[in-house]
Amino acid sequence: MRLPSDEIKRGLTRAPHRSLLRALGLSESDMELPFIGVVNSFNEVVPGHVHLRSVADAVKDGIRAAGGVPFEFGGIGVCDGIAMNHEGMRFSLASREIIADEVEVMAKAHAFDGLVLIPNCDKIIPGMIMGALRVDIPAIVVSGGPMLAGDLDGEKVDLHDVFEAVGAGLTGRIDAKHLRRLESCACPGCGSCAGLFTANSMNCLTEALGLALPGNGTIPAVHAGRLRLARETGKRAVAIIAEQLKPRDIVDGRALRNALTVDSSMGCSTNTVLHLAAVAQEAGVDFDLRGINEITGNTPHLCSLSPAGTYHMEDLHRAGGVAALMKELLDADKLDGSAAGIAGGTIADAVAGAAVLDADVIRPLDNAYHQTGGLAILFGNLAPRGAVVKESAVDETMLVHRGRALVFDSEEELVAAIEAEKIAPGSVVVIRYQGPKGGPGMPEMLTPTAAIAGAGLDRQVALITDGRFSGATRGASIGHVAPEAFSGGPIALVREGDEIKIDIPARSLELLVDEDELARRAGQLEPRQPRYATGYLSRYVRLVNGAESGAVVG
């Protein structure tokens, strides 16, 4: 079987290439083995990535043991928590496209035969998967694993508790001493933040997509099992090259439906909609937002993890992990067991030996937290192309809500209004010009949503944005409104005091203003100039598509 690496190591004309490979320490016998790129997103900025050197070392040990040659290279990674609520957040989603490009560039330029992807946090996971699908050589994912929850006076806490405590502090509900104690213990060590936020959502979905071995989503970062999984992943990387099992053989319509089903049963981050849409585009698979409602309507919500519930990723791991959840869904005919898996065989084969070990962390279908799944896609005259909400994290009293609009064109304005206690109960807060082009980069709104929750208003106030909400957000927070305000979408036409009706069970989002008035406002709308005239984000704005198609560049 001819391999891509033969292009750089076979024949008379490749003597210079072999000479450079020998300079890396390769031997004559190494030239006969498959070359595997190990994409390590280690850095000393992101807590979820600071330990990835050890994961990469275990992967490389596995590759060598199975008869391959590993070539490690780096990739960028943004920490959303550190980037939150300042200019840095505009670069977070936009970094996903760079990461996909990095994988493509390195794999193609160096003729690798296969890839091991080592991400851990939000945009790095989908970005690496997108790049692997683009080059379509055998590839497998192993993440760095989740952080353990912190402990404050015997109560488990995580990063979202700190963000919400800021809101409580702004309104005088807690003092600075309590906030300092909380911030000191909420993030006790390495790993992706302990709740079911975007990073852990996506790591869990790598199992549902069939691109990672069982345990990838939940084995804690500090457990030795994470290194054992990494070593097995390295071994499997060599095997899939021999089998020529490629990402596009795995990520098909069945895999994406399975991922959305698992997503719905867990109550994952709303950001997964963006990322799965982008992954589908790279895989050449149709992705219909309306189809998500069909899947969620047929999928019970079986796991309730932070921020919606009290459990954390370590509890899901203890309860049997994603494999046990998938086995429950498979036994109920909610998953397509014929979909391919990276472990060889089918998804059904991969989870055959799994079992639920805690029936409250992973509930049986007849005792579900909710009878429908965690995500909902809303449509209406305010979101003709859709908007997304994490229904499982919305209080029942807010599932249907009608209120007057409070309109903000920046997150900073809203945070100032919260601090000044100007957000009236019953309001619908609109934050616009935060979309892929308008933000740019769809900045996450965790600070205002957490501040509203911390101020005790999450059961009285709804938020709507053409930007994004963090996976750590809870409450009636509706994001990804499309078309976005920058592109002249109806969200740009909302005025202070307009009535907005939200009906999540009916999947509806309506601006209660008559069509003639909206047409008049549209005629008066003045185009906005991009925020950036130079640099990466100026190019990103010119190329990025809408949220409804995954905010991909193309």
Q: Which residues pair with 346 in a beta bridge?
A: 340
H or E segment and range at residue 414:
helix 411-419
Output the six-digit token pair for 134.
Answer: 């683009």
3-class DSSP state of 277: helix
Q: Which residues pair with 478 in a beta bridge?
A: 389, 464
Q: Strands 462-465 and 477-479: what pairing?
A: parallel
Q: Which amino acid is at 87?
A: E
Query: Cα–Cα distance between 507 and 516 in angstroms, integer?
Result: 24
Q: What are the two backbone dihedrals, phi and then psi, of residue 64, each rounded to the nearest 5 degrees?
A: -65, -40
Query: Cα–Cα distance between 219 and 225 in angstroms, integer?
Result: 7
Q: How far is CA 554 from the centre of its chain?
A: 20
- HSE (side-chain half, CA atoms, 13 Å) at 342: 33
Q: What are the two backbone dihedrals, phi and then psi, of residue 119, each rounded to the nearest 5 degrees?
A: -100, -175
3-class DSSP state of 478: strand
Largest interatomic CA distance in the chain: 76
Q: Which residues are catalytically annotated? A: 470
What is the C-alpha end-to-end distance of the chain, expressed in Å?
34
Mention every residue, 6+ apart, whose C-beta is less than 8 A from residue 442: 93, 274, 434, 435, 436, 466, 467, 468, 480, 547, 551
Q: What are the two backbone dihedrals, phi and then psi, of residue 492, each rounded to the nearest 5 degrees?
A: -70, -15
Q: What are the two backbone dihedrals, phi and then psi, of residue 380, each rounded to the nearest 5 degrees?
A: 160, -175
> Cis peptide before 527, with omega less than 30 degrees from 0?
no
Burial degree of 110 (CB within 10 A; 0-12, 13-18, 19+): middle
Name the E strands within 364-476: 375-380, 383-390, 400-408, 428-431, 462-465
**SS3 breakdown of the chain: % helix, strand, coil, rounded to 5?**
45, 15, 40
Q: List the helix and strand counts (H, then E) for the chain.
A: 21, 14
Name the E strands within 330-382: 375-380
Query: Cα–Cα distance between 264 and 334 in angstroms, integer?
Result: 11
Output the six-digit token pair for 436.
Answer: 């892929």
Query: Cα–Cα distance between 47 and 189 in angstroms, integer?
Result: 7
> Which residue is it, tokens 């047409």?
519
Output the six-digit token pair for 263.
Answer: 């997503």
